[in-house]
Structures are given as C-alpha cells and as structure tokens.
Amino acid sequence: MSLAINHNMLAINSRYSLNQSYSGIEKSTERLSSGLRVGTAADDAAGLAIREIMRADIKTLGQGLRNANDGISMIQTADGALGVIDAQLIRMKELAEQASTGTYTDSQRKLINQEYQKLALELTRIAESSVFNTKQLLNGYQHNFTVEHAAPTTTGTAAVDATNKAISTIGATDTATFTNRNEDGFAVTTTATFSHKGVGGAVPTNATYTYNADGTTSITPETQPVAGDQELVSSEVYSLSKQYEPSDATSVRYEISSDGGKTWKDLPTAGTVTTNAGEQLRVTADYPKGEITETFVDPSSTDPALAGDDGKIAFVYDAGTHTVSYTTVPVHGTPPLTEAQVDENSAQAKADLSTVQNNIKTDSAATIKFTFGARNESTDHYGIKIDKVSAKSLGLGIEAGDSLLTQESARNALDNLSAAIIKKDAIRARIGSTQNRLAATIDNISIQRENAQASESRISDVDVADEMVEFNRKQLMANAAMSILVQANSLPETARKLLSQS
C-alpha cells in the first residue's frame, strides 16, 4: 500500500473493524441483559414467528388447564347434589316398602304418603338449586320455542275479529280453526263446528273465543236473547302436533317401541306410522346446548278408560314432514247429532286431549362443554350431558302420578324408585368418568405446556456461556482495532516529515 496524504486507508479499515466490534459488543450486551437471543424480528425472523405462535399456545394451554380444573369443580358440585338426592331416594324407597305391606290401613298410608311427597318436592328443589357460577346443573335443558297464535281461519259465512277475539255471522255447519304453539314447540289446533239447536225465533250468530294455557281455544257462543229462541252450539275437535325438522337441532332421531320402551328401533324414513296399543314413539333432538327426548305413549295402553278406544286414540309419525301428531275422534260422528251427543263429543275430545298431553314424557339433558386445547379442533374440547333429575323426570311424586295412598300404588312406587335409582346412578357414573377424564386431560395439557415452554426457550433464550465467549471475542477485537487505529493515524505524519526533509 502506498503512502498517501488525502486518504488514510489503513485508518479507515481499522475504524470499520472497530465499529463492527462495537456493534457485536452492543448486541451481546443486549442479549445478556435481556436474556433473549431473539429480541427483534431482525435477530431471527423465522424464529420470532415460531416463538410468538408458541407463546400464544403456552398462554392458551395455561387457560385450558384452569378451564379443566373449573370443569372438575363443576362436576363435583353436581355429584355432591346427586349424593344428597341419593339419600332422598333411599328414604323414599324405605317409605314405599313400609306402605306396601298389608299391616297398614289406607288412612295410615296417607300419613306415610305425606312424607313421601315432601321428599319428592325436596328432590326437585335440590335439582333446581344446584348451581355452579350461576349455571344450573341438574334441571336439564329447555329449548324455548316462540309462543304463537296463528291467524284463525273459518269456513262458510263465519268471520273472525282477532282484535276483540270474536266470531260473527256464524251459520249452521260453519267452522272456525285456531292453532296455537306453546314454548315446547307443540301446536294445538282447535276446530269448532257450529250448529243451531231448536227451531223458530231469533238465530244467534256470534261467539267469542279465548286461548287456554294448554294450547286449546275455548269457544263461547252468545246466549239466547229470548227464551225459546234457537241456541248456537259449538262442537270442538282437537289435534296436537310437533314438527321437529327443520330446526336448529344438530340431529334428530325417530324411534318406535312395541315392548313398553325396553327396546327401540328406528322409524322408516318415508311414509307414515300410526301407533297401536302398547306402542311408543320416541324423538331425540340434540341441540348445541342440550338434548331433549320426547316419548309419545299411546294412552289407550295406559288408561283403562280408553282401552276400548284404541282405534280413535293414536299418534301418527309422518316421515315426510318430520311431524308427530294426534287428532281427537268424535264419539258420535254421524249427523244429525242430538244435544247430548254434541256435549259428549266436546267433553270426550277435551278429556282425550288432556290424557294424550299427560302421556307425552319429556326428558332433557344439559350439555356442558369443556374447552382446553390451543386450537378450535374436535380434540380440543368435549362435554358431558347431565340429565334432568327432578322428581317428575324420575317418575316420582304427585306430578308423575306416584303415591303411597294404596297398597298397590305403594308397590308400583317401589318399581318407580328402583328405576329412578338406576337412572340417578347412571348419571353419577357418567359424571365420575368425566371427572377422571378431565384429570387425565389436565396431566396431558401440563406435559404439553411444559414441552412447548421448553421449545420456546430453546428458540428465544440466550445461551449465556456462548454469548459471553462472543462478548469477550468482540471486546478483544475492539481493543486490537483501537491499537491499530492509533498507529494508522500516525502514517500521515510520517508523510509530512518526509516532505519536510526533501
């Protein structure tokens, strides 16, 4: 290299090496003080991206652990309540055994029944008051439909004033039809057929109507203005139906049983099926928040008063519309009908409908889902269905027609209690197995989180020993560069001295 005055290349090169060494010292100091190998994206772009994903997973898995532990706490709350219910059922069975023996009179059984019914009420209270974080655990799931009153329809000259709930200009043989849907999704249709009783005088043509809690509609014809005038008569026929699809249920299953509910087989996917005595239809609708099972028991198989009326009382399943329905059949169907026959038709239709409604058994289960994984995949969550555990859902207590008032009813109560205990034990077994599953999930998530933390550390954390070696190396290079820079800066002075001596 030549000796120059304008550009001291030796000094420039030394300065560059010194700056590089100082930059390395600065980076090593930053890493050693923060403990991180990757502090910015410039340090390791790919490593930073992987690290941030892992950090999110680690935090998410930590919350998942807390979720799983909360799930165990919730399940323990439900199991504790079921333990108390277990004691109630044992005492109720003890009372049923006592009342079923022949050494007691019916008067004494009334006294035993008082405690029995109180225990049933307490059982329901416990189920409805078992709460975890404001969430009820043992009261099942209620899928509330919108209560609706469809616009009434008429035939003939009859006209409906929906505002005033009135019917006017009614003629003989005219009809008025009212369809109401309750919060359980059942539609009750009331079809009233009008006729006139008597001859001569004024002809009444007006009536009013009211909606009832059971979904039926009551028709009230106007009274006779003058004694001897004709009278307006209404004869009602009722139908009950529920359409299950389309709906927001994730799945719906339709089944039939011919042996009292012991075994079930799927209903056909086309056509209609009409139940006979002893047959039952079962529909299970699975909603995101729970499951509802409705069992339609042919009342002619359970009500002795209807045993001879099997052909008139039956449920019909229509696969095409996904509907289960029932329609009352008049006792007297061939006109003209006498006043007594009209009254008998209306009374019998009302009684039949009530019997049918009472023979629809509804069971429900609340679905509680636990989420613990780092992704929204099927393996990152699961749930448990906890059935409703009220006295009525277990077939116990006055609401279920269960009592100890007679020796026969007490013996029936023993069977009901045996079935209730089995159902309750099945729920507790499901709860216990889910608790054990959650415990295993916690162990797995803990290991997964620990390994993710180790991986994140290998990517992100600085190796102190390695970095100290690099720090010392850069420091030594900086000192060397400083020494050389001092010497390089003296070269222009050498050139000046050479010129001054010439």
Same-domain check for residues 313 and 415: no
pLDDT tens per residue across span 139-183: 888 888 888 899 999 999 999 999 999 999 998 889 999 999 888
Q: Kindly state the average pLDDT of the residues 476-498.
A: 78
Provide the phi-psi class of 73: left if phi over 0, else alpha when psi is between -120 and 50, else beta.
alpha
Q: Give every CB contact of residue 369 below 8 A, 6+ residues apart in sequence.
A: 381, 382, 383
Cα(382)–Cα(373) distance, rounded to whole angstroms?
Answer: 10
What's residue 4's pLDDT?
65
pLDDT at 352 over 50: yes
Arithmetic mean of pLDDT, 18-22? 81
- 279 and 316 share one domain: yes
Q: Would strands 323-327 and 231-243 be described as parallel, antiparallel, or unpaired?
A: antiparallel
Q: How far apart are CA 34 and CA 461, in angstroms?
A: 9
377 located within any domain: no
pLDDT band at 374 (very low <50, low <70, confident <90, very high): confident
Q: Do residue 88 and residue 211 come from a single domain? A: no
| Pair (399, 432) in one structural domain | yes
pLDDT value at 66 more than 50? yes
Residues 232 and 228: their CA atoms lie apart, in Å, by 12
- Are 158 and 134 in a shared domain? no
Query: Hey, what are 441's tokens?
Result: 């999930």
Using alpha carbons, select from 332, 272, 324 the residue that is nearest to residue 298: 324
Coil/strand/helix, residue 393 = coil
Are residue 153 and residue 202 in the same domain, yes or no?
A: yes
Q: Stretch 473-482: mean pLDDT, rounded?
A: 82
**Mean pLDDT for the stretch of residues 332-337:** 68
Based on the fold, state whether residues 426 and 321 are members of the same structural domain: no
How buried is residue 433: exposed, middle or buried, by Cβ count under 10 Å (0-12/13-18/19+)?
exposed
| pTM for this entry | 0.71
Digit-coded pLDDT (tens) for 302-325: 444 544 554 557 889 999 999 999
Residue in this structure with the two tokens 């906890």, named with its chain if needed: 386
Grouping H, G, I as helix, E, B as strand and the rest as coil, residue 278 is: coil
Residue 49 domain-assigned (yes or no): no
pLDDT at 199: 73
Range of the domain at 488: 9-35+464-500
- pLDDT-derived band at 328, boundaries 50, 70, 90: confident
**Contact yes or no for 83/138 (Cβ under 8 A):** no
User: Which residue would you say has higher pLDDT here, 123 or 39?
Assistant: 123
Flag whether 373 is in a domain: no
Rg, C-alpha atoms of the chain: 42
Assess whether 72 and 220 both reside in one domain: no
Predicted confidence at residue 187, as pLDDT, reads 92
435 compared with 354, residue with greater pLDDT: 435
- Report whether pLDDT(343) > 80: no
Q: Is the pLDDT of residue 281 over 60?
A: yes
Strand 290-297 and strand 360-371: the pairing is antiparallel
| Residues 296, 167 share a domain | yes
**Residue 415 pLDDT class (50, 70, 90 cuts):** very high
Whether the Cβ atoms of residue 374 and residue 63 lie closer than 8 Å to each other: no
**Does the residue 237 lie in any domain?**
yes
Instruction: Give the residue-averaged pLDDT of 131-143.
Output: 89
Q: For the chain, what percent of residues have pLDDT higher than 70? A: 93
Please indicate, yes or no, if residue 41 is contained in any of the structural domains: no
Token readout for 373 is 């994984």
Tokens of 310: 């099997």
Residue 313's nearest CA partner among 376, 254, 359 is 359
Both 91 and 127 in one domain: the answer is yes
pLDDT tens digits, 223-260: 876 766 788 888 888 999 999 988 888 899 999 998 88
- CA 215 from chain centre, in angstroms, equals 25
- For the chain, the domain total comes to 3
pLDDT at 284: 94
pLDDT for position 303: 47
Among the residues of 330-406, which ranges form H helices? 339-358
For residues 38-58, average pLDDT? 84
Position 57, amino acid: D
Q: Which ranges of 100-184 does DSSP label H, i.e. alpha helix?
A: 106-129
Q: Assess if residue 455 is contained within a domain.
A: yes
pLDDT bucket at 110, cuts 50 / 70 / 90:
very high
Do residues 423 and 363 touch, judged by C-beta distance below 8 A? no
Neighbour order of strands in the sheet with 159-161: 159-161, 166-168, 207-211, 217-221
Give me the pLDDT at residue 36, please: 80
Q: What is the C-alpha separation between 19 and 348, in angstroms, rounded?
A: 105
What pLDDT band is residue 327 in, cutting at 50, 70 and 90? confident
Residue 248 lies in a domain: yes
Same domain as 77, residue 197: no
- Edge to edge, what strands does the sheet with 360-371 contain? 265-266, 251-257, 280-287, 290-297, 360-371, 381-387
3-state helix, strand, coil in the chain (%, to 5): 45, 25, 30
CATH label of the domain that carries residue 422 = 1.20.1330.10
Same domain, 225 and 279: yes
Q: Is the pLDDT of residue 434 over 90?
A: yes
Q: Does the residue 13 lie in any domain?
A: yes
Question: What's the DSSP call for residue 403?
Answer: -
- Residue 382, phi then psi, degrees to nearest 5: -155, 170
pLDDT at 227: 67
